Structure 1
Amino acid sequence: MANADNWQGEVLRTLRDDGSTPGQEPPVDSPVGSPVGSPVGTPTDTPVAVPPPHPDQQHAPRPGVRPHPVTPPPPHTPDSRPVLDPSLAAAAHRPRHGEHLASRAVRILRRTVSSSAAREVAETTAIAETLQRPVTTGRQIAVTSIRGGAGKSTVTALLGMAYAHYRQDPVLLVEADPALGSLPSRLGAESVRWTTGDLAGIVEPQMSLLDVTGYLVQLPGNAWLLPGSQGQIGTMLDTKAYERVMVSLRRYFGVTVVDCETLPAEVARVALAAAQARVLTAPATLEGITSTHAVLQWMRGLPRHMITGTVVALTELVPHSGIDLDKAAQRLTETGASVRALPYDRHLAAGGPIRTERLAHATREAAAALAADAFRLSQQRR
């Protein structure tokens, strides 16, 4: 990608707090000719003669007033569309807990009578300290897979939720997979409007954070979403549009998580090369592990930071996968990548919006550890 090295060299702009509400649309200018500030008692039926300005002063700014850059309006304003059809959303059942009631009761009992509670608290504290480390440049973490159905969007949503929970700076989730991606649904977005392709023709370097967030979907906490499509088949995203969006938005957000296309799509390869860390999701099956191992072997032929800055997320899609995860992880780590297992979770398996309070305890721990690994890798020098 052009200017990829500059992505890590620019200091994150200090966000200016002007008292505005994030996500608020910019104010609309008054109509031309409207009587703004006209004196009280001026007869409305008596025209007021206004002398025309001197030709030399028509375009001259007033003394002491800095001209405000005007962003050209977008060529087309899309309509807002619901993420889920109401008639289809009604078919969903009530969200399930990630683990059975009996399992939750046993875990709580063990924490009460076991000494492992102190160790668990220590591990959680260490993960929180890692996720809260300050950054001087925006970190970009790309999530991809070798095939569909590997939990790529789910892992992206879990990472974004973890960063938004622990960090104070803005967090952005970008959907660079416009082919009917499920990231907005997993994040609980009700509607989408502007997409990654739309923003490529709108965003300008002089825009403020308030201007930018006006085109994004606000999520709980300090997080925003940029969808890849409005759920329409045939939406495309080229590498130039992706690069323009990412270069322009990098200064506003401390961490950006990108839900990429599956490999070997061109945008996915560009996103992997430009990101400071990569997460490669793989189903915990024999076929998933085999294909992921082949991708890691290919990455070993690239610059070394590509493989050392990659963590594999082994996702268990069924309760009993029949795979020895320890042996699989050992085989994959031999390539130089890190490996984390994401256990089966009934709440995640059901699809729909992710509710962190309904995730299994083991899932929350694994997701936080995966987020910490990816963030730690993103801070390593290339």
Structure 2
Amino acid sequence: MSAQAQGAPGDWQRDVFRELGGAASAGAAQEAAAPAALPPAPPAPGEPARHGRPLPPPTPVSVPVVGPALDGSGPRHGDPLPRRAGRALRRGLTSSAARQTETATRIARAIQQPITTGRQIAVTSIRGGAGKSTVAALLALTLAHHRHDPVLAVEADPALGTLPRRLGATEIRWSCGDLAGIVDPSMQITDVTGYLLPFAGGGWLLPGSQGTIGARLDVETYRIVMTSLRRWFGTTVVDCETLPAEVARTALTTTQARVLVAPATTAGAATTRSVLDWMGGLHRSMLPTTVVVLVHTAPDMGLDGRRAAEYLGAGGARVIPLPYDRSLAAGGEIRTALLAGATREAAALIAAETMDRAMTRGSSRGGPR
């Protein structure tokens, strides 16, 4: 990450680190630039504070994501066997294979475009059950697969969120609130990843909680985590609470791009249009940096995709349908090898379009089509 991202004039991140460090001094910046001699280890409960810093919270006990008695559903292919066989046959046709390769290459280049400072992407929705965490997980998995810089998925929906389950986590120990009390400017990325969970493709996950009912993530904790981690991760996907929660509103206005998830229904499109109008009133750059994902939770949703794209795309947002997929409908870990072909294509397009908009920040230049 650039030096500007770490210590730009007026950047309140330095004030956060000053509060976390206890004693403020001009040497704090030099300490942040120097590599840590040893990975910081949380002290045992009752151990005195080191260097005048407040004690970090005690090490939490790992909690399983899903109880063993409930975790017995087997994986399913997103496409039925006849469709998979037909797709394999079509790949044998030279012209069709060439077109698919050209499209995949163009989309991959958009996902892999170089960055100079971390890009943060907020994923939210107006109602629960729209597929928000599923889209956030697909986006994080796709970015981690294609990009070479570190990818982070942050669960900012702490009350019984499903992002850890979707990304294959089996147990949770550290959460956003825990890390906010531990993060230190002397840390390196190897220190930070000790508090994160790895997921497929080389990405990292920071859960919002251990699945406790009533868990909260306030705006201050969210800001500490996001500003502290941005210098280590090239791209960050934030699975937010549903709107109009305060953290979700903060994420919408502080990230470089945003994904608004809605069910592919007439009611879902109408509600989403209202949200887009509200977002457009916040700042003129909001809609050109927004991707709307219409999630099909059943094989035949009945929504006219072309008309929905015109209706929701007014103002600059890009509308992308996410087709029904049997493997996603199961609700467990997302296994990319089992996804339907159309689902993988849609996930890649969502990632490419989102990265393109995060980089252009409202430019009129369109993304991959």
Name the CA shift for 1:25/1:6 in 2 (closer, same or farther; >3 Å): closer
What residue number does 1:329 align with?
A: 309
What residue number does 1:81 align with?
A: 63
Correspondence 1:178 to 2:158: yes
Residues 147-168 of structure 1 show CA distances to partners (whole Å, capped at 9, x for unaligned) of 0111100001001111110111
3-state SS of paired residue (2:195): coil
3-state SS of paired residue (1:371): helix
What residue number does 1:282 align with?
A: 262
Q: Report runs of 4+ in structure 1 exceeding 2 Å deviation.
A: 5-10, 24-29, 68-73
Taking structure 1 as the reference length, what is the TM-score of the superposition?
Answer: 0.81
User: Which amino acid is 2:164 matched to?
Assistant: P
Tell me, yes or no, if the aligned pair for 1:176 and 1:242 is still in contact at 8 Å: yes
What residue number does 2:23 align with?
A: none
5+ unaligned residues in a row in structure 2: which ranges?
10-32, 44-49, 363-369
Determine which structure has the larger helix proportion and give its number: 2
Correspondence 1:266 to 2:246: yes
3-state SS of paired residue (2:187): coil
What residue number does 2:193 align with?
A: 213
What residue number does 1:229 align with?
A: 209
User: Which amino acid is 1:341 matched to?
Assistant: P
What residue number does 2:89 align with?
A: 109
Tell me, yes or no, if the aligned pair for 1:345 and 1:359 is still in contact at 8 Å: yes
Tell me, yes or no, if the aligned pair for 1:169 and 1:222 is still in contact at 8 Å: no
3-state SS of paired residue (2:293): strand
Correspondence 1:238 to 2:218: yes
What residue number does 2:136 align with?
A: 156
Give percent identity, aligned residues only.
57
Counterpart CA distance in 1 for 2:128 and 2:284 is 27
Counterpart CA distance in 2 for 1:198 and 1:28 is 11
Counterpart CA distance in 1 for 2:185 and 2:276 is 36
Q: Which segment drifts farther, 159-168 or 113-122?
A: 113-122
Larger Rg: 1
Question: How many residue pairs align between the two structures?
Answer: 330
Alignment of 1:1-382 (within 5 A): 73-90=55-72, 92=73, 94-113=74-93, 115-381=95-361
Tell me, yes or no, if the aligned pair for 2:289 and 2:361 is still in contact at 8 Å: no
Q: Which segment drifts farther, 128-137 or 247-256?
A: 128-137
Q: Which segment drifts farther, 197-206 or 271-280?
A: 197-206
Counterpart CA distance in 2 for 1:8 and 1:110 is 53
Counterpart CA distance in 2 for 1:239 and 1:76 is 22
Deviation at 1:322, TM superposition (A): 1.0
Deviation at 1:294, TM superposition (A): 0.5
Counterpart CA distance in 2 for 1:136 and 1:114 is 39
Tell me, yes or no, if the aligned pair for 2:256 and 2:361 is still in contact at 8 Å: no
User: Which amino acid is 1:316 matched to?
Assistant: H
Taking structure 2 as the reference length, what is the TM-score of the superposition?
Answer: 0.84
5+ unaligned residues in a row in structure 1: which ranges?
11-15, 30-67
